[in-house]
Amino acid sequence: MSDYQFPYKDAAFVLEELLDFDQLCQAAGLGDVNTELAHAILEEAARMGSEVIAPLNTIGDRQAATLEDDGVHETPGFAEAYRQYAEDGWASLSAPQDWGGQGMPRALAAAVVEIWDSACVAFSLCPLLTSGGVEALAVHGTGELKQRYLPKLVSGEWTATMNLTEPAAGSDLAAVATRAVPEGDHYLISGQKIFITWGDHRMTDNIIHLVLARLPDAPAGVKGISMFLVPKFVPDENGEPGERNDVVCVGLEHKLGIHASPTCTMSFGDNGGAVGYLVGEPHRGLAAMFTMMNDARQGVGLQSLGVSERAYQQAAAYAKERLQGTRSDGSRFPIIEFPDVRRMLMTMKAATETMRALLYTAAAEVDWIHAAETAADKSRHIVRTGIYTPIVKGWISELAQEITSLGIQVHGGMGFVEETGAAQHYRDARIMSIYEGTTGIQAMDLVKRKTLADGGAGLGELLDEIQASVADLEAADGLGAMASRLQTAVEAARTARTWLLENAKSDPHAAGAGSYNFLMLMGYVCGGWLMGRAAVKAARLKASAAGDSAFAEAKLVTARFYFDHLLPRADACLSVLESGSASTMALDVEQF
Ligand SMILES: Cc1cc2nc3c(=O)[nH]c(=O)nc-3n(C[C@H](O)[C@H](O)[C@H](O)COP(=O)(O)OP(=O)(O)OC[C@H]3O[C@@H](n4cnc5c(N)ncnc54)[C@H](O)[C@@H]3O)c2cc1C
């Protein structure tokens, strides 16, 4: 057992009140899935998370995975937990039914994944990559590859990895140098990949690497990259792990956090070439890999929520126990009674609840893509998902840095020593704004691909929708002040969008210098939208006799806190954006 408890009521509130889960399931043709079933699934996942996975978190921090002669040995206890995870069917929860998955909505899967992420993010990273691998293979793989690999990946019997990064190719994948040479019905892959998460382990019989490499005739740059499937063991004619392939882990990184997640240097083709199979079209591998990366980017947003929630729970529990104040009668009181400690705890609580609302909303948007009845509807949901993805990855992972840091601050000196575990959340969260594309890359994605490329049309639609919810706040009793604050925030977002459209062409540095603040601004505004809607729903629940009035009251206060303390940051982001690139770029390189 651990002290982690899934915030069940808040997750259910988002699913039912903000996303209308039952309607979503009906529209997606999942008539047998409903709120009642979702509750049962969440309860079971919460039990598994707190009883089986969460206790591994501290062990994994203290005892990292190791590289031995026969490969990577994971932290003790991880293999047993993983086996139970797969046997209990968690790996296949939202995977396609055609390949043995249960086809549950992504919105529900997001809530379940939050549990694994809060419990132990080093553990949950392994299934995260497998889920992305399933997605990429299901969309881009040939029929034969799907038949051979998908059922075992969907069931969790095998795991998948994502192999993009090389010593000279990080954010800029144009420099990928790994080679793929045709050889009969397959390719021979050679080269080195670095930083490969769960690149090797002994938890499953096989590991399936999805690898970016270049064909001999490949044009230079990102348009010459192809994607290959490289199994650790090449399956035999029965589909079972056969011959050992020419791919090995040759090193493990020593890291600031997520110690139990092996970060591997993978060497392909030291003995002539690793057998690989083309996934998708030649030279179109980056597009195929983006299917996996988009899935993983939403997944990293969920990690950021998971670790923030755990840091919040720990800080709140500590603040209730730690006695530091002395009353006039000489009795002592806990630090939670100090307004400044309240400020920190409320920031943590409001931010994590907002992250949850946005992440589940983004996941539901993917469900709506599948549920769409017309091509126009589908493309609208695809555009919206494209806008949400950098925001949930970039803004939420940045917010997680602040929340986990506050978790340490609430503990005072005890937060800085490792014993309490507050520091682990901070260290574990640090990678989340780096991997799967740094915040800088997410911000440029939001500005260039998701805003400038369509003249701001898709973003404009989102802002119109947010604008429409201002009226609901105005109409609700006592929420008028929130309505005008949200109105100001939407106007800030519209001004920022116009500023980018007007300045990006005339100033080559405008988009790059302002992109971070634009990303953060959009995050705070989306958060305001969802917390505003949550407040309207909570006000109704509070007024109705049937509702959980204590929960509704707390939600209303939390939403107000978000509007008072976090949403105003959007104005500051706009102000920085509008200051342009001049002072950012004025110094010569030598002046640094
Ligand atoms: C623990 C861990 C696990 C990882 N797991 C995997 C994995 O499973 N598979 C995999 O393939 N990779 C993985 N990575 C690699 C990770 O995705 C990269 O580290 C990340 O994408 C950044 O690349 P880089 O480290 O080369 O940094 P660089 O690209 O060198 O970036 C350095 C700095 O420059 C900025 N920058 C670079 N280019 C731009 C630009 N165009 N615009 C604005 N700013 C820019 C960045 O934002 C950053 O601040 C992992 C890394 C770590 C540390």
* Stretches in the chain below the pLDDT threshold 50: 1
Residue recorded with tokens 């010569």: 588
DSSP H or E run through 325:
strand 323-326
Q: Distance from first CA to last CA of the chain, Å, rounded?
A: 51
Instruction: State the number of CA atoms in the 13 A half-sphere of 164 facing the CB.
Output: 20
How many CB atoms lie under 10 A from the CB of residue 445? Answer: 22
CB-based contacts of 401: which residues, under 8 Å, 6+ apart?
429, 430, 433
Q: How far is 195 from 164, CA to CA, in rounded Å?
A: 9
Whole-number pLDDT of residue 536: 98
CB-based contacts of 217: which residues, under 8 Å, 6+ apart?
none
Whole-number pLDDT of residue 249: 98
> Which among 442, 440, 474 is positioned nearest to 300, based on CA atoms?
442
What DSSP assignment string belongs to 267-324? EE-TTS-EEEEEESSTTBHHHHHHHHHHHHHHHHHHHHHHHHHHHHHHHHHHHHH-EE
Q: Looking at this protein, which amino acid is placed at residue 186? A: H
For a ligand 1 pocket test, name from 128, 165, 172, 300 the mutation site with the most ligand atoms within 8 angstroms of its C-beta.
Answer: 165
> Which among 87, 77, 160 is positioned nearest to 125, based on CA atoms?
160
The Cα-based distances of 378 to 140, 223, 364, 383 in angstroms read 19, 27, 13, 9
Dig out the tokens for 293 from the structure.
């990366």
Is pTM, for the whole model, over 0.95? Answer: yes
What DSSP assignment string belongs to 178-222? -EEEEETTEEEEEEEEEEEET-S-SSSS-EEEEEEEB-TTPPSSG
Considering the candidates 17, 135, 365, 436, report the single residue annotated as catalytic: 436
> Which among 282, 258, 302, 267 is positioned nearest to 393, based on CA atoms?
302
Give me ligand 1 centre to Cα 45, in Å: 32
CA 107 to chain centre: 13
CB-based contacts of 445: which residues, under 8 Å, 6+ apart?
389, 390, 437
Q: How far is 419 from 58, CA to CA, in rounded Å?
A: 10
What DSSP assignment string belongs to 34-50? -HHHHHHHHHHHHHHII
Q: Are 97 and 139 in contact (CB under 8 A)?
A: no
Whole-number pLDDT of residue 547: 76
Point out which residues pair with 379 in neighbouring strands: none
How many residues make up the chain in this entry? 592
Pocket of ligand 1 (CB under 6 A): 162-165, 170-171, 195-197, 255, 263, 431, 434-438, 440-441, 444
Dig out the tokens for 17 from the structure.
């009140």
Whole-number pLDDT of residue 485: 98
Indicate if 402 belongs to the active site.
no
What DSSP assignment string belongs to 155-176? TTSSEEEEE--BTTBSS-GGG-
Q: Are 319 and 336 in contact (CB under 8 A)?
A: yes
For a ligand 1 pocket test, name from 263, 434, 449 the mutation site with the most ligand atoms within 8 angstroms of its C-beta.
Answer: 434
Instruction: Specify the ligand 1 atom closest to the Cα of 163.
Output: 11
Q: What are phi and psi of 317, to 5 degrees?
A: -65, -40
Give me ligand 1 centre to Cα 427, in Å: 17
Instruction: Specify the ligand 1 atom closest to the Cα of 437.
Output: 21
Give me ligand 1 centre to Cα 435, in Å: 6
Give me ligand 1 centre to Cα 429, in Å: 15
Would you say the C-alpha torsion 534, 535, 541, 544 has a positive or negative sign? negative
Q: Looking at this protein, which amino acid is placed at residue 589? A: V
How many CB atoms lie under 10 A from the CB of residue 143? Answer: 7
Q: What are phi and psi of 234, to 5 degrees?
A: -70, 125
Q: Where are the alpha helices (DSSP H) in 372-479?
A: 375-390, 396-410, 413-416, 422-430, 439-444, 457-475
Give me ligand 1 centre to Cα 423, in Å: 23
Q: Are 500 and 452 in contact (CB under 8 A)?
A: yes
Q: How far is 124 from 467, CA to CA, in rounded Å?
A: 37
Q: How far is 518 from 8, CA to CA, in rounded Å?
A: 32
Q: How far is 340 from 217, CA to CA, in rounded Å?
A: 62
Q: How far is 427 from 418, CA to CA, in rounded Å?
A: 11
Q: Looking at this protein, which amino acid is placed at residue 435? A: Y
Residue recorded with tokens 């049962």: 40
Instruction: Specify the ligand 1 atom closest to the Cα of 171.
Output: 29
Helix (H, G, I), strand (E, B) or coil at 407: helix
Would you say the C-alpha torsion 299, 301, 306, 310 has a positive or negative sign? positive
Q: How far is 303 from 389, CA to CA, in rounded Å?
A: 14
Residue recorded with tokens 């139990």: 260
CA dihedral 234, 237, 242, 246 (to 10 degrees): -30
Give me ligand 1 centre to Cα 443, in Å: 14
Per-residue DSSP letter, 76? T
For a ligand 1 pocket test, name from 121, 164, 435 the mutation site with the most ligand atoms within 8 angstroms of its C-beta.
Answer: 435
Angle between helices 339-371 and 510-543 (to 10 degrees): 100
Q: Are 107 and 19 in contact (CB under 8 A)?
A: yes
CB-based contacts of 590: which residues, under 8 Å, 6+ apart?
none
Whole-number pLDDT of residue 480: 97
Q: Looking at this protein, which amino acid is placed at residue 291? A: T
Q: What are phi and psi of 454, to 5 degrees?
A: -110, 25
Instruction: Specify the ligand 1 atom closest to the Cα of 199.
Output: 8
CB burial of residue 58 (10 Å; 0-12, 13-18, 19+):
middle
Helix (H, G, I), strand (E, B) or coil at 587: coil
The Cα-based distances of 81 to 47, 64, 472 in angstroms read 13, 16, 46
Whole-number pLDDT of residue 31: 84
